[in-house]
């Protein structure tokens, strides 16, 4: 049989992106060798570096290459270099939003898990975070992020308020099918886990949330009656996440709530540099670390590449159905940590200096443990 070949569209992006991407590729190549599979990676531009090179945060060539690939592996976008006060200037984040929309990636999976070796990194007490293992299923192509918006000058307001008449609005809109398909993804994920879904909304205020809750319940009753379903208001969820994080299994919510809650959930672990994510639709999927581009440490060779490596691991599972090989990656990362190897961000006073590794050395270490 011919050797399987997968084409991966790699998007290093900005900040620490290129450094951590190199380690993701390194691990991918090692897995390929061991599994006798060829991963052919091809770099393309996105974000600020794409703005610099061709004036657009998501060049057509990048979206075309992503669509033609078997999977997309992204590192990070953004940085102060592209902060502009001009509302019309292109922003790196538009590259990310554009590729999410362009590939129809309506499901974002963000697993949050405590690594025993890193439990001390959390700001929460050990007995609170013990056993935390949850996944946020965030709707990724709707809501405020993609709704109608406008900024304009309001003559009337100007007269009454000393000449300051600027106005702006964003709209949160959801269609029934958008809620339906993300709800289905959440229930399917729960079936493979601990069979529990928490649906998060703001039903006491928002019409979109009332629709959300209705549709989630209909999908549940019709298709997944055996899965446990609870509803929680988003403000209360913010509290419960730090109060009893281990109680959650699958949390499903709309785009903006998911953005906020996933940062909160990530912080429960105390090690943002460890969290991977998968964005899925009905075609090509995209995998990326949950953390940002960390421009302050870019180019120094000290960034933590583990989230990038674990994102490559998620790619093996979700894009290539290589669950066993994904297990190699996860287990290698776990054993590297158990043996005390750290990057600077996850090191503490107890870490001997010779166990603090740079970005490339950490990638090498994972390959060694594969």
Catalytic residues: 145, 202, 235, 259, 263
Instruction: Return the C-alpha torsion angle 362, 353, 76, 282, nearest 10.
Output: 50
| Closer of 170 and 364 to ligand IPM (Cβ) | 170
Span near ligand IPM by CB under 6 A; candidates 64-72, 89-97, 151-159, 327-335: 89-97
- Closest to 109 measured CA to CA, from 313, 325, 270, 294: 313
Q: What would the two tokens of residue 364 be? A: 């090498």
Residue with tokens 């158990």: 338
We find the least distance from the C-beta atom of residue 97 to ligand IPM, in angstroms, to be: 6
We find the least distance from the C-beta atom of residue 307 to ligand IPM, in angstroms, to be: 12
Q: Considering the rule CB under 5 A, would residue 38 count as an interface residue with Mg ion?
A: no
| Closer of 275 and 367 to Mg ion (Cβ) | 275
Residue nearest to Mg ion as judged by C-beta position: 259
Q: Helices 359-369 and 17-35: crossing angle, nearest 10°?
A: 20
Q: Which of residues 230-289 bind Mg ion (CB under 5 A)?
A: 259
| Closer of 43 and 259 to Mg ion (Cβ) | 259
Residue nearest to ligand IPM as judged by C-beta position: 93
| Closer of 255 and 347 to ligand IPM (Cβ) | 255
Residue 93: name its binding partner from ligand IPM, Mg ion, none (Cβ under 5 to 8 Å by kind).
ligand IPM
Q: Considering the rule CB under 6 A, would residue 93 count as an interface residue with ligand IPM?
A: yes
Instruction: Return the C-alpha torsion angle 167, 78, 105, 258, nearest 10.
Output: -60
| Closer of 188 and 259 to ligand IPM (Cβ) | 259
Is the alpha carbon torsion for 182, 184, 190, 192 positive or negative?
Answer: negative
Residue with tokens 């590794």: 357
Q: DSSP letter for 233, please.
A: E
Residue 235 φ/ψ region, left for φ over 0, alpha for ψ in the -120 to 50 degree band, beta for the rest: alpha
For residue 110, the cross-strand partners are: 136
State how far the Cα of 147 lies from the Cα of 141, in Å rounded to an integer.
10
State how far the Cα of 239 lies from the Cα of 129, in Å rounded to an integer.
14
- Closest to 175 measured CA to CA, from 106, 97, 261, 230: 106
Residue 96: name its binding partner from ligand IPM, Mg ion, none (Cβ under 5 to 8 Å by kind).
ligand IPM
Q: Considering the rule CB under 6 A, would residue 96 count as an interface residue with ligand IPM?
A: yes
Among the listed residues 259, 264, 330, 334, the single contact to ligand IPM using CB under 6 A: 259
Q: Considering the rule CB under 6 A, would residue 264 count as an interface residue with ligand IPM?
A: no
CA distances to 83, 93, 118, 294 from 80, rounded to whole Å, are: 5, 12, 30, 10
Q: Considering the rule CB under 5 A, would residue 93 count as an interface residue with Mg ion?
A: no
Residue 170: name its binding partner from Mg ion, ligand IPM, none (Cβ under 5 to 8 Å by kind).
none
Span near ligand IPM by CB under 6 A; candidates 18-26, 29-37, 93-101, 191-199: 93-101
We find the least distance from the C-beta atom of residue 266 to Mg ion, in angstroms, to be: 9
The dihedrals phi and psi of 88, each to the nearest 5 degrees, come to -90, -10
Residues that bind Mg ion (CB under 5 A): 259
Residues that bind ligand IPM (CB under 6 A): 93, 96-97, 259
């Amino acid at each position: 049989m011919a050797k399987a070949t997968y084409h991966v569209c790699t998007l290093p992006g900005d900040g620490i992106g290129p450094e951590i991407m190199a380690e993701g590729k390194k691990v991918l190549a090692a897995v390929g060798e061991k599994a006798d599979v060829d991963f052919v990676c091809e770099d393309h531009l996105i974000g600020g570096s794409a703005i610099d090179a061709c004036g657009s945060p998501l060049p057509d060539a990048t979206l075309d290459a992503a669509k033609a690939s078997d999977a997309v592996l992204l590192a990070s976008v953004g940085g102060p270099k592209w902060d502009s006060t001009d509302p019309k200037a292109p922003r790196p984040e538009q590259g990310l939003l554009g590729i999410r929309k362009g590939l129809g990636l309506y499901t974002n999976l963000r697993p949050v898990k405590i690594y025993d070796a890193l439990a001390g990194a959390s700001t929460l007490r050990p007995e609170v975070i013990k056993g935390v293992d949850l996944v946020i299923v965030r709707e990724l192509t709707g809501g405020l992020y993609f709704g109608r918006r406008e900024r304009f000058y309001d003559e009337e307001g100007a007269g009454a308020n000393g000449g300051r008449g600027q106005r702006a609005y964003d709209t949160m809109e959801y269609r029934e099918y958008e809620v339906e398909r993300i709800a289905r993804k959440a229930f399917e994920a729960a079936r493979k886990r601990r069979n529990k879904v928490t649906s998060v909304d703001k039903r006491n205020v928002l019409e979109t949330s009332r629709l959300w809750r209705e549709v989630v319940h209909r999908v549940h009753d019709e298709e997944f009656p055996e899965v446990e379903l609870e509803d929680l208001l988003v403000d209360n969820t913010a509290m419960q996440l730090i109060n009893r994080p281990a109680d959650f299994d699958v949390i499903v919510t709309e785009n903006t709530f998911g953005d906020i809650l996933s940062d909160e959930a990530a912080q429960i672990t105390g090690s943002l540099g460890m969290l991977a994510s998968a964005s899925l639709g009905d075609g090509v999927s995209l995998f990326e670390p949950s953390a940002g581009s960390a421009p302050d440490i870019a180019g120094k060779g000290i960034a933590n590449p583990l989230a990038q490596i674990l994102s490559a691991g998620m790619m093996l599972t979700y894009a290539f159905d290589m669950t066993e090989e994904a297990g190699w990656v996860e287990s290698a990362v776990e054993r590297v940590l158990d043996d005390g190897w750290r990057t600077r961000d996850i090191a503490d006073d107890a870490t001997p200096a010779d166990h603090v590794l740079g970005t490339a050395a950490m990638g090498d270490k994972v390959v060694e443990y594969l």
